[in-house]
A and B are shown apart, each in its own frame.
Chain A
Amino acid sequence: GGIITQTPKFLIGQEGQKLTLKCQQNFNHDTMYWYRQDSGKGLRLIYYSITENDLQKGDLSEGYDASREKKSSFSLTVTSAQKNEMAVFLCASSYRGAGERLFFGHGTKLSVL
């Protein structure tokens, strides 16, 4: 089996700050994703990448940048943190294919003061 590791687990930032979240997977999966989950709510896709150096925008890409430096890693940058923002950012990966399941990390919980 494999694992998805997200760092940090908790992130506290200041309004206007640039914040970077990191994700590593050892499944050797092609596709990686970043989702945002607001308290008790559904998952909204921010960015995804189907291979190294590829980037595809999701529904919520404004205010974020992403980078797929290598196959195993995918990072997300909040370009300017919003005051009182609180959400969990989930990284996931999958093999390329319609029927393939996503494997998720435990998430990074963001709080902006």
Chain B
Amino acid sequence: QQKVQQSPESLSVPEGGMASLNCTSSDRNFQYFWWYRQHSGEGPKALMSIFSDGDKKEGRFTAHLNKASLHVSLHIRDSQPSDSALYFCAARGSALGRLHFGAGTQLIVIP
């Protein structure tokens, strides 16, 4: 069973709209969460990290973490066509532990 599960599998939003991506972990040891973004033909790039409960905002992107429910989300405000990409949630527990990736959410921003 995958330790990190993402929903939805795909999401379409109009340009200027809000995109909300979800991620749930099945491992209570996970302490460190990341969002990665992959444009077609490229490798994934780290978008932002969140390690503490609550919200973390970076520009148009806001991540939210609730460790009690093992849930992390990513909200993209004022979505742009350049935000169209595959978004991965990733999590790890111990300091030397490996990073576990979810299967990804394909975001399409419609001009």
Contact = CB atoms under 8 A, between A and B. Distances in A.
Interface stretch (A12-20, A43-51, A79-87): A43-51
Interface string A87-102: 0001010001111011
Contact residue range for chain A? 20 to 34
Interface stretch (B11-19, B61-69, B70-78, B102-110): B102-110
Q: Is the interface of B mostly helix, strand, loop or mixed?
A: loop
B104 to A, nearest CB: 5
B44 A99 contact: no
A42 B32 contact: no
B98 A48 contact: yes
A96 B94 CA distance: 11
Given A41-B104, A43-B88, A45-B98, A99 B46 contact: no
Contact of A102 (B99, B103, B104, B106): B99
A56 B97 CA distance: 11
Interface stretch (A61-69, A70-78, A104-112): A104-112
A18 B54 CA distance: 48
Contacts of A40: 86, 104, 106
Contacts of B36: 102
Contacts of B49: 99, 101
A42 B46 contact: no
A11 to B, nearest CB: 16
Interface of A: 4, 33, 35, 40-43, 45, 48, 50, 56, 58, 90, 92, 96-99, 101-107
Interface of B: 2, 31-32, 34, 36, 41-46, 49, 51, 86, 88, 92-99, 101-104, 106
